[in-house]
Structure 1
């Protein structure tokens, strides 16, 4: 009898010794079911991956969230919601989404955009958008005779800005007195660009310029060297753009190789 008592005491002592270790692996016991600490770690990792910083102060909130989820899950299972057809369909869709996300994430890790690629893209942008920028105004009308009449009016001392506000059919610039702000010649259609490039500062076109939009009277107010953003200012945007291009190419290659019947 004494031996049985001592054995029971030893067993109880051993369980008491193991209890702290078991509890250290779990954050709580909900209705008799252990909630492992790994769930808190997984939730923290998910937040970190989404860009939200996980601070030590958030540990309690994450623990409460995991416990609440376990409570709700148990109730949903009690109601049999985890065996419905709708749940199975949603679960499969979620599985597909996560797996595809992992595929793309793995590709991005293996194929990062390099600084060399970013700089090369910036240089191409600078080459295409360098040169001169023009500060111009224009008046857009539908008919050539109307444009000629406005040119005659301007030559007699008419105010370009006032006529533009009154007569221009361009809703964007008309209200601003025809002002088109600074832009390279390549920003405009060919006919407009050609006429603009031939003007000297302060001069306007002597004859109407016809484009697909109608007839223009153009005045060049100023010229300057193109003002390009500095490399460091646009580096993040270029990196994102190149990464998206790589991802698009990767997706297109997978589709091209797939045998779809």
Structure 2
């Protein structure tokens, strides 16, 4: 009779301890490693594209056990009490908290369809303009550029001279072809000279930039055709989110007492 009662109490104790044990993935030298810590690490790895599998869970368990073993040794040596370590821990803790704040703000301030459409229309309006199909020859000195201009005006092939003399490794081998692009993609001096040209016209004088001396020819222009909203919606959403975050931060800073 006594033996049966003992067995009952043992079973009851086991059942009572089960929930607490399930909350930990391991116990190292008496210190439990909570399952929530493993869940957090798995969630972080999931954001990086890793799938939650039994193999990943086992690897995370091993990693957390190793960390706990090392952490206990660090504590034994008094490392967490060092001023430099405390400062780094404070920065790391702040980073985690701020990331959570940003995620919470973004989650609760998703742009509406109306905001997305309005932002897209603004971006399209501001983009406008034209794309230019340009050729250029880049050389090291002004006199060489002048000599090449004279040769081209005398009937020499722009493309052949570009292949022979241009210092631009990207376009030189292609006869100086820069393909279609927005002039704003180039340095200001180059863009200013290119946008003054008429179709088929070449610069009469070399154009000086930080890269050297350019001879520029405009082949054609075309209106910029913006991509439809459905192709760039995610980028538009991200830009709106960034603007909202910036406004949020600026508002907090404006209302903060900073001495």
TM-score of the superposed pair, with normalisation by structure 2: 0.73
Query: In 2 relative to 1, CA 171–17 (structure 1 residues): closer, same or farther, beyond 3 Å?
Result: closer
Is the 2:194–2:218 Cα contact (8 Å) retained in structure 1? Answer: no
Equivalences for residues 167-182 of structure 1 within 5 A: 173-174=171-172, 176-182=174-180
Q: Which has the larger displacement, 70-79 or 122-131? A: 122-131
How far does residue 39 in structure 1 lie from its aligned partner after superposition? Answer: 2.6
2:195 aligned residue (193, 196, 205): 193
Determine the structure 1 residue equivalent to 2:204: 208
Is the 2:145–2:206 Cα contact (8 Å) retained in structure 1? Answer: no
2:134 aligned residue (128, 133, 136): 136
In structure 2, distance between residues paired with 1:110 and 1:180: 45
* Structure 2 residue 243 is the aligned partner of structure 1 residue 245: yes
In structure 1, distance between residues paired with 2:183 and 2:86: 58
How far does residue 105 in structure 1 lie from its aligned partner after superposition? Answer: 2.2
Determine the structure 2 residue equivalent to 1:60: 58
Q: Unpaired segments of 5 or more residues in structure 1?
A: none
In structure 2, distance between residues paired with 1:145 and 1:87: 61
Query: In 2 relative to 1, CA 136–19 (structure 1 residues): closer, same or farther, beyond 3 Å?
Result: closer
Query: In 2 relative to 1, CA 215–77 (structure 1 residues): closer, same or farther, beyond 3 Å?
Result: closer
How far does residue 247 in structure 1 lie from its aligned partner after superposition? Answer: 2.2
Residue-pair matches, total: 252
RMSD: 3.8
Query: In 2 relative to 1, CA 155–121 (structure 1 residues): closer, same or farther, beyond 3 Å?
Result: same
How far does residue 182 in structure 1 lie from its aligned partner after superposition? Answer: 0.9
Query: In 2 relative to 1, CA 128–14 (structure 1 residues): closer, same or farther, beyond 3 Å?
Result: closer
Is the 1:144–1:215 Cα contact (8 Å) retained in structure 2? Answer: no
What SS class does the counterpart of residue 189 from structure 1 fall into?
Answer: helix
Query: In 2 relative to 1, CA 51–112 (structure 1 residues): closer, same or farther, beyond 3 Å?
Result: farther
TM-score of the superposed pair, with normalisation by structure 1: 0.72
In structure 1, distance between residues paired with 2:29 and 2:213: 80
How far does residue 108 in structure 1 lie from its aligned partner after superposition? Answer: 1.6
What SS class does the counterpart of residue 27 from structure 1 fall into?
Answer: strand
In structure 2, distance between residues paired with 1:221 and 1:105: 48
What SS class does the counterpart of residue 194 from structure 1 fall into?
Answer: coil
Determine the structure 2 residue equivalent to 1:15: 13
In structure 1, distance between residues paired with 2:30 and 2:230: 57
Is the 1:192–1:211 Cα contact (8 Å) retained in structure 2? Answer: no
* Structure 2 residue 160 is the aligned partner of structure 1 residue 162: yes
